Amino acid sequence: MKDSPSLEPMLPTLVKAPFSNPDWIFEPKWDGYRAIFFLENGNVRFSSKNRKSLTQRFPELQGIPNSIKAETAILDGEIVALDKKGVPCFAGLRSGKVANQCAMVFYAFDLLNLNGDDLTQKPVVERKAILKRILPKQDTCRVRYTEHIAGDGERLFRELEKRKLEGMVAKRADSIYVGGRTRA
């Protein structure tokens, strides 16, 4: 499973206002670096949305394979630095000075491949259900599952605003994974 030019991350399209719709799921947008995570033979690799290696930049994340129930996997997510209150601290992430102030974690929100099976043609809600099963149940590890809510994007957006988080991402519940910018 090598980094491949054909593995382009699925990117959202900006909209002017939050919305609610029963055909959509809504997730928090973490204030971090978007990354594709590759697990193969116990080795970890991270690739940015521009297909540049992030592996050496985040050595704290090398222990993630011990927390994932898979031999091989490709996950989509975001590398985030969290302060002692569990709030993203992007300044610490950018400066690299996170050792004492912030904990480095990978928030996974999609599963593209599991043990050699391509999952990109399955609906996102199915991929997320499988992802949740292979990740730790507790948010105490360096890899964490990104929860979502179905239908009520406006409520989630209000909650994220209260917490002063970056924003949210809306996804059609039945969408397959396609690289590039999409309205799904």
* CATH number (domain holding residue 81): 3.30.470.30
Whether 1 maps to a domain, the answer reads: no
Whether 125 maps to a domain, the answer reads: yes
Q: Is 172 left (phi over 0), alpha (psi -120 to 50) or beta?
A: beta
Whether 132 maps to a domain, the answer reads: yes
List active site positions.
29
Whether 5 maps to a domain, the answer reads: no
Distance CA 127, CA 147 (A): 13
**Token couple for 138:** 């507790």
Whether 4 maps to a domain, the answer reads: no
Domain residues for the domain of 117 are 10-181
- What is residue 3's predicted lDDT score, i.e. its pLDDT? 43
Whether 164 maps to a domain, the answer reads: yes
Whether 2 maps to a domain, the answer reads: no
pTM of the model: 0.92
Number of structural domains (the chain) is 1
Q: What letter would DSSP give residue 62?
A: G
CA dihedral 154, 80, 181, 25 (to 10 degrees): -30
Whether 32 maps to a domain, the answer reads: yes
Name the nearest CA neighbour of 132 among 118, 111, 112.
111
- What is residue 37's predicted lDDT score, i.e. its pLDDT? 96
- What is residue 96's predicted lDDT score, i.e. its pLDDT? 60
pLDDT under 50 in the chain at which residues?
1-6
DSSP, collapsed to helix, strand or coil, labels residue 172 as strand
